[in-house]
A and B are shown apart, each in its own frame.
Chain A
């Protein structure tokens, strides 16, 4: 493509002696090599993870995904991902369910309701929440939040809503519920700050037009801002969901572990990322190591799907509104 570039540039600089300058070529090659390296890196990640999972892939195939098992005892080895998939789905969806209304409420507060002097500092604080490392949230989760939820929130929920199997008797401490709350805290600022930018992008004419027609502020939000920002918010939620399924450290600190499927949120559980992180001190056999990487492969496939879906949604809504936005976590 360098020849195309040079051809396009040629008439713009008629005073150059040489047709292609050596320095231009070098910079373009070096910078192009960096871009190529980035592309190769992503390919290498996919290949290396598949390569590492190969032993488990060839032994179990797709049956791995539907089996509930994690037995590393030599001679009785059997591995499956179903319980971790279940845990990932339950924690991520619940966190998304809790975070969505909160995040949209925060974004509306920041763009529509907050008194002007509050806007900038509160925005900064919400973004600070996103900068807290997951291991610190996890530390707080295991030592402060977990015990507090177990002693105060879980018994209350159980006594009021105990007829729903989700709110069973409280467990020893670590619980799926704590993991959900931790994940909610982690994805909340991401969704909130993207939604805030989307709401800021709603044209003033539309908002003022609605208000001039006599709508209340909420009716304006519902009738003008939500439809306008719908695509972007969907993308933000998808990205938040991607963050939730990929989080390993904070979840492994608070969720407790266990290879089973049950509906009691107050019991322990495990997720794909948490299982991998918890096994960092080494696998006893090659098959176990390979199965752990298989879990990582599932996670990688999910993250690819989630990112491409978010991109697709962003591009579709950008085309509709004629605006171009980058989809960033």
Chain B
């Protein structure tokens, strides 16, 4: 530990104390800066968004290039985000859980390590690259669709759900598995009706966090579900507008009225994500306590 470079003689005590104090103050400062940035950002979004926040935002559709002051909203974006995220969850949740079950309950260590690495790699692929991948896979030749958009979102959710499930599966005590197998219960029944139910809290936490993450994703949808109409649509066979893509487009508009709606939509999105994160945190605490209380 020669790199440590501190001498323990008493001669430099004042200097050492002063350095220590300085460093402690810098750490306080760093934490203050982070909280200040968060505060400033949330304040800006809440302050600008809340004034525009009314029922029109959810019920009225946008009127591009409107010269009148007719009330506009983003009903198409709200409907689209609900459909896109619902389909993405329906695709990613079962596959993610199954991957985790396979890796934790069945796979030999070498495959377990390999697929875990693959999940990490998938988690690290930039969202915009997922977007152009799905563009090449599903959009070229068929055109944009809600399905393509939700498949892109599902690619982002999959590693999150699988990782979260694996983390809670590890917490399930082996004695539970052994007791079930010892009673002569088949391994698949043990896994599905004894091990998995223990992890529902953790899986739910992971899913809520993944939903919160993809509900705010813009990049995967730009190439897969962004060329949309203004009428709200629930049909995933057509391209669907989404809240993040709407914010993205409105933020680049020169019209302050568009900015106002972007702030309002951002405020709604932020509220949803904050509540989802808080809810997930609460769920995680509860399920962890249940799993480790034994």
**With A227-B1, A328-B163, A329-B124 in contact, is A189–B34 under 8 Å at CB?**
yes
Q: Which residue numbers of A lie inside 8 Å of B, CB to CB?
A: 1, 4-5, 9, 12-13, 15-16, 21, 23-24, 26-28, 30-35, 37-39, 41-42, 44-45, 48-49, 51-52, 101-106, 108-110, 112-114, 122, 124-129, 131-140, 142-144, 185, 188-189, 192, 213-219, 221-223, 227, 239, 242, 245-249, 253, 273, 276-277, 280-281, 292-293, 296, 299-300, 303-304, 306-308, 311, 326-329
Q: Which residue numbers of B lie inside 8 Å of A, CB to CB?
A: 1, 3-6, 8, 16-17, 19-20, 23-24, 26-31, 33-35, 37-38, 41, 44-45, 94-95, 98-99, 101-103, 105-108, 111, 114-133, 135-137, 155, 158, 162-163, 181, 184, 186-189, 191-192, 212-213, 215-219, 222-223, 226-227, 244, 247-248, 251-252, 259, 262-263, 266, 269-270, 273-274, 277, 281
**With A133-B218, A292-B132 in contact, is A41–B30 under 8 Å at CB?**
no
Bound state CA distance, A293 and B266, in angstroms? 29
Contact of B31 among A48, A110, A132, A133 (CB under 8 A): A110
Q: Is the CB of A303 within 8 A of B126?
A: yes
- Residues of chain B within 8 A (CB-CB) of A300 are 125-126, 129
**With A135-B247, A223-B1, A293-B136 in contact, is A218–B115 under 8 Å at CB?**
no
**With A133-B217, A299-B128 in contact, is A253–B251 under 8 Å at CB?**
yes
Q: Is the CB of A219 within 8 A of B30?
A: no
Bound state CA distance, A95 and B181, in angstroms? 53
Q: Is the CB of A102 within 8 A of B34?
A: yes
- Residues of chain A within 8 A (CB-CB) of B189 are 23
- Residues of chain A within 8 A (CB-CB) of B24 are 113, 217-218
Q: Is the CB of A15 within 8 A of B184?
A: yes
**With A38-B115, A304-B121 in contact, is A299–B129 under 8 Å at CB?**
yes
Contact of B16 among A45, A109, A189, A219 (CB under 8 A): A219
Nearest neighbor of B23 in chain A, beta-carbon distance = A218
Q: Least Cβ distance of B139 to chain A in Å?
A: 11
A-B contact count (CB 8 A): 293
Q: Is the CB of B120 within 8 A of A307?
A: yes
Q: Is the CB of A131 within 8 A of B213?
A: yes
Bound state CA distance, A246 and B129, in angstroms? 8
Q: Least Cβ distance of A113 to chain B in Å?
A: 6
Bound state CA distance, A259 and B100, in angstroms? 45
**With A105-B29, A109-B31, A140-B44 in contact, is A26–B129 under 8 Å at CB?**
no
Q: Is the CB of A28 within 8 A of B273?
A: no
Nearest neighbor of A12 in chain B, beta-carbon distance = B181
- Residues of chain A within 8 A (CB-CB) of B270 are 132-133, 136
Contact of A1 among B111, B114, B212, B213 (CB under 8 A): B111
- Residues of chain A within 8 A (CB-CB) of B259 are 143
Residue in B101, B181, B192 with the greatest tally of chain A CB atoms within 10 Å: B101
Nearest neighbor of B189 in chain A, beta-carbon distance = A23
Bound state CA distance, A1 and B101, in angstroms? 16
Contact of B38 among A38, A104, A129, A281 (CB under 8 A): A129
Q: Least Cβ distance of B222 to chain A in Å?
A: 4
- Residues of chain A within 8 A (CB-CB) of B124 are 239, 242, 246, 303-304, 306-307, 329
Q: Is the CB of B129 within 8 A of A296?
A: yes
- A23-B189, A246-B126 given; name 17 further pairs at CB < 8 Å: A1-B108, A15-B184, A23-B186, A37-B95, A38-B99, A45-B130, A101-B26, A105-B31, A108-B27, A113-B27, A122-B35, A129-B34, A131-B212, A185-B41, A218-B20, A227-B1, A249-B219
- Residues of chain A within 8 A (CB-CB) of B122 are 38, 41-42, 45
- Residues of chain B within 8 A (CB-CB) of A188 are 34, 37
**With A131-B213, A227-B3 in contact, is A21–B187 under 8 Å at CB?**
yes
- Residues of chain A within 8 A (CB-CB) of B137 are 44, 48
**With A38-B119, A113-B27 in contact, is A21–B19 under 8 Å at CB?**
no
Q: Least Cβ distance of A312 to chain B in Å?
A: 10
Contact of A222 among B6, B105, B212 (CB under 8 A): B6
